[in-house]
A and B are shown apart, each in its own frame.
Chain A
Amino acid sequence: MADGAAPVLDVRGLTTVFHTRQGEIHAVNSVSFTLSKGEVLGVVGESGSGKSVTMMSLVGLLPSPPAEIREGEVLLGGQDLLRASPAELSSVRGAKVGFVFQDPMTSLNPVFTVENQIIEPLIRHMAMSAADAKARAVELLDLVGIPDAARRVKDYPHQFSGGMRQRVMIAIALACDPDVLIADEPTTALDVTIQAQILELMTQLREKLGMAIIWITHDLGVIAGIADRVMVMYGGQVVEHAPVRALFHNSQHPYTRALLRTIPKITGAREGRLSVIEGQPPIMTSVPRACPFRARCAHAHARCEAENPARRAVDGKPLGQGHDVACHWTPEAENA
Chain B
Amino acid sequence: MLTFTLRRLLLAIPTLLFISLIIFLLVDLAPGSPMSEIPLTVPPEVRQKMIAALGADQPVFVRYILWLRQFFWVEPAYLLDGWFGTDLAGDQQRILSWQSRSPVFTVIGQRIPQTLTVIGTAYLVGILIAVPIGIYSAYRQYSLFDQLGTFVAMIGFSVPTFFTGTLFIIIFAVWLGWFPTKYDTTLEVTDWASFIRQMQQMAMPVMVLGLANAAAISRYMRSSMLENMGQDYVRTARAKGMTERTVVLKHVLRNSMIPVVTVIALGIPSIFGGAIITENLFGVNGIGAALIGAIHASDLPMVQTLAFIFAVLIVGFNLIADILYGFLDPRIRYD
B contact face: mostly helix, strand, loop, or mixed:
helix
Which of B231, B237, B242, B244 makes the CB contact (< 8 A) with A106?
B231
Considering only residues 49-104 of chain A, those with a C-beta below 8 Å from chain B are: 59, 61, 86-87, 90-95, 98-99, 101, 103
The 4 closest A-B pairs by CB, nearest first: A94-B241, A99-B239, A93-B241, A94-B240
* Contacting pair A61 B235 (CB below 8 A): yes
Residue of A nearest to B233 (CB): A109
Which of B239, B242, B246, B331 makes the CB contact (< 8 A) with A110?
B331
Q: Is B328 an interface residue (CB 8 A)?
A: yes
Write the nearest CB–CB distance from B36 to chain A, whole angstroms.
57
Can you list 25 A-B contacts with CB-CB less than 8 angstroms, sorted by A residue number? A61-B238, A90-B244, A92-B241, A93-B238, A93-B241, A94-B239, A94-B241, A94-B242, A98-B239, A99-B236, A99-B239, A101-B232, A101-B235, A101-B239, A103-B232, A107-B235, A109-B233, A109-B255, A110-B233, A110-B330, A111-B258, A121-B242, A124-B241, A124-B246, A172-B236
Considering only residues 134-164 of chain A, those with a C-beta below 8 Å from chain B are: 156, 158
Q: Is A120 an interface residue (CB 8 A)?
A: yes
Q: Is B197 an interface residue (CB 8 A)?
A: no
Q: Is B243 an interface residue (CB 8 A)?
A: yes
Write the nearest CB–CB distance from B224 to chain A, whole angstroms.
13
Write the nearest CB–CB distance from B34 to chain A, whole angstroms.
55
* Contacting pair B240 A111 (CB below 8 A): no
* Contacting pair A61 B239 (CB below 8 A): yes
Q: Which residues of A contact B231 (CB under 8 A)?
A: 106
* Contacting pair B242 A169 (CB below 8 A): no
* Contacting pair B239 A111 (CB below 8 A): no
Asked if A110 meets B329 with Cβ closer than 8 Å, knowing A90-B242, A120-B242, A120-B246, the reply is: yes
Q: Which residues of B contact A61 (CB under 8 A)?
A: 235, 238-239
Write the nearest CB–CB distance from B171 to chain A, whole angstroms.
41
Bound CA–CA A98/B241 (angstroms)? 9
Considering only residues 166-216 of chain A, those with a C-beta below 8 Å from chain B are: 169, 172-173
* Contacting pair B240 A120 (CB below 8 A): yes
* Contacting pair A158 B331 (CB below 8 A): yes
* Contacting pair B254 A112 (CB below 8 A): yes
Asked if A111 meets B232 with Cβ closer than 8 Å, knowing A94-B241, A121-B240, the reply is: no
Q: Is A222 an interface residue (CB 8 A)?
A: no
Q: Which residues of B contact A120 (CB under 8 A)?
A: 237, 240, 242, 246
Q: Is A125 an interface residue (CB 8 A)?
A: yes
Bound CA–CA A173/B239 (angstroms)? 8
* Contacting pair A109 B237 (CB below 8 A): yes
Which of B236, B241, B255, B258 makes the CB contact (< 8 A) with A107?
B236
Asked if A158 meets B241 with Cβ closer than 8 Å, knowing A107-B232, A111-B255, the reply is: no
* Contacting pair A111 B241 (CB below 8 A): no
- Interface residues of chain B, those whose CB is within 8 Å of chain A, are 231-233, 235-244, 246, 251, 254-255, 258, 328-331
Q: Is A108 an interface residue (CB 8 A)?
A: yes
Q: With contacts A94-B241, A101-B235 known, what are 8 further pairs, Cβ within 8 A?
A: A94-B242, A99-B239, A103-B232, A109-B251, A120-B242, A121-B240, A124-B246, A156-B331
Considering only residues 1-41 of chain A, those with a C-beta below 8 Å from chain B are: none
Q: Which residues of B contact A106 (CB under 8 A)?
A: 231-233
Residue of B nearest to A96 (CB): B241
Write the nearest CB–CB distance from B242 to chain A, whole angstroms.
6
Bound CA–CA A95/B241 (angstroms)? 7
Q: Which residues of B contact A92 (CB under 8 A)?
A: 241
* Contacting pair B233 A90 (CB below 8 A): no
* Contacting pair B232 A156 (CB below 8 A): no
Residue of B nearest to A87 (CB): B243
Q: Which residues of B contact A109 (CB under 8 A)?
A: 233, 236-237, 251, 254-255
Q: Which residues of A contact B244 (CB under 8 A)?
A: 86, 90
Q: Which residues of A contact B254 (CB under 8 A)?
A: 109, 111-112
Q: Which residues of A contact B238 (CB under 8 A)?
A: 61, 90, 93
Bound CA–CA A94/B238 (angstroms)? 8
Which of B236, B242, B246 makes the CB contact (< 8 A) with A108?
B236
* Contacting pair A158 B236 (CB below 8 A): no
Write the nearest CB–CB distance from A114 to chain B, whole angstroms.
11
Q: Which residues of B contact A101 (CB under 8 A)?
A: 232, 235-236, 239
Q: Which residues of B contact A93 (CB under 8 A)?
A: 238-241
Residue of A nearest to B228 (CB): A109
* Contacting pair A90 B243 (CB below 8 A): yes
* Contacting pair B242 A124 (CB below 8 A): yes
Asked if A111 meets B328 with Cβ closer than 8 Å, knowing A61-B235, A101-B232, A106-B231, the reply is: yes
Bound CA–CA A103/B238 (angstroms)? 16
Q: Which residues of A contact B240 (CB under 8 A)?
A: 93-94, 120-121, 124, 172
Write the nearest CB–CB distance from B1 to chain A, whole angstroms.
15
Write the nearest CB–CB distance from B331 to chain A, whole angstroms.
5
Q: Which residues of B contact A95 (CB under 8 A)?
A: 241
Residue of B nearest to A118 (CB): B240
Bound CA–CA A107/B237 (angstroms)? 9
Bound CA–CA A311/B251 (angstroms)? 43
* Contacting pair B251 A91 (CB below 8 A): no
* Contacting pair B239 A158 (CB below 8 A): no
Residue of B nearest to A97 (CB): B239
Q: Which residues of A contact B246 (CB under 8 A)?
A: 120, 124
Which of A59, A91, A107, A156 makes the CB contact (< 8 A) with B330?
A156
Bound CA–CA A151/B113 (angstroms)? 49
